[in-house]
Amino acid sequence: MQYDRFIRLRRPLWDAFEVRLGRLGRGDGGRGRRVRGAIVDHDELEELAIGYRQVLHDHALAAARFPATGAAERLRRLALDGTHRLGGGADETVRRGGPIAFFTRTFPRAFRAQLDLLALAALLFAAAAALGLLTTAARPGLGVAFIGEEARSGLAEGRLWTEVLTTLPPEATSSSIATNNMTVAITAWAGGATAGLLTFYTLILNGLMLGAVVGVALHYSMGGELGAFIAAHGPLEITIILVAAAAGLAVARALVAAGDRPRGEALRAAARSAVTVLLGVLPWLVVLGAVEAWVSPEPAVPAAAKVALGLALVALFWVAALNPFLPPTESDDAEAR
């Protein structure tokens, strides 16, 4: 999509979201729900939640295709303002008990509530990865579409394309990697606003890409080198993307099949939980950016150490996300939903 067309088609949505967000500072005579001190009508809150996901989706798209443009900057501000104003349950918990209460109580509750959708996301991703692997194993040339001709030539010469990371400043590389990973996660998460279509697309595309890259590396007998590179950051990176996608699917489920609750109520509950999950996983992507920049490309770090680090990180995330020391209660389950 061209920049001018992107602006023309999407600006009305941004304008509408900005107007609705501005209304949070004004009451409506006591009718509706209170959000960060303002009273908002239920229908208005539903529109806000949908608009918020559209803004996040467009923000991810603009950051990837049109960086350093006016639209990218405006969408960044709208996304930050929307997160701050619509954080809902996460904001309340942080105000009451601080970040510790959020990461040990609110986030685990929301995470547990979407485990069924996490399993669905993992199944879809794994199926796409298997398809990419099998297809590329049969026709290695197809993998060039994912890694490029230069990277393929490097593999043929016994070099991974990731070696370039050792020549770049790790500080800058870490920031770039974290931003890219956040873009993928937010895109999968925000895809809930499209009834899950964008979320499914993100899962399938990234699964195919992973399978194809592994298939090409195996074809050139570089599977071990690739495995050593991704061992430290790959397991948790994939997990985070799947978790973000599951949160997006939760919103999509509320949009498509609200069940026995009013659609607006189901959407608000799903939106609150999805925001909580996103806020809970984004800090991990910053950690992964540092690992991928400092540890993964470093040949001096033994492969066994990278594997151990990768397993330790993903295990630590699961323990923190599930928090087995926090027993489920009816009130907490309602809070997570």
In a shared domain, residues 77 and 128 = no
Task: Report the alpha-carbon distance of residue 99 to residue 106 in Å, rounded.
Answer: 10
Query: How would residue 43 be classed by pLDDT, with cut points 50, 70 and 90?
Result: low
Residue 175, pLDDT above cutoff 80: no
The pLDDT value recorded for residue 45 is: 57
In a shared domain, residues 170 and 264 = yes
Residue given tokens 């298939």 in the structure block: 215
In a shared domain, residues 58 and 155 = no
In a shared domain, residues 50 and 126 = no
In a domain, 122, yes or no: yes
In a domain, 101, yes or no: no
The pLDDT value recorded for residue 26 is: 45
Cβ–Cβ under 8 Å, residues 191 and 50: no
In a domain, 179, yes or no: yes
Q: What's the pTM value of the predicted model, to 2 decimals? A: 0.72
| Domains held by the chain: number | 2
Residues 74-114: pLDDT tens digits? 888 887 777 666 544 444 444 455 688 889 999 999 999 99
In a domain, 106, yes or no: no
In a domain, 142, yes or no: yes
The pLDDT value recorded for residue 208 is: 94
Query: Where does a domain end: 71, 86, 101?
Result: 86
Task: Report the alpha-carbon distance of residue 276 to residue 100 in Å, rounded.
Answer: 14
In a shared domain, residues 202 and 330 = yes
Query: How would residue 190 be classed by pLDDT, with cut points 50, 70 and 90?
Result: confident
In a shared domain, residues 220 and 294 = yes
In a shared domain, residues 39 and 131 = no
In a shared domain, residues 251 and 320 = yes
In a domain, 202, yes or no: yes
In a domain, 331, yes or no: yes
In a shared domain, residues 68 and 163 = no
Residue given tokens 């992973």 in the structure block: 210
Q: Which helix (H) or strand (E) element contains residue 33?
A: strand 33-35
Q: What is the DSSP letter of 87?
A: -
Domain range holding 126? 115-336
Asked whether the CA dihedral 180, 147, 293, 123 is positive or negative, the reply is positive
In a shared domain, residues 159 and 258 = yes
Task: Report the alpha-carbon distance of residue 174 to residue 171 in Å, rounded.
Answer: 5
In a shared domain, residues 19 and 122 = no
In a shared domain, residues 308 and 223 = yes
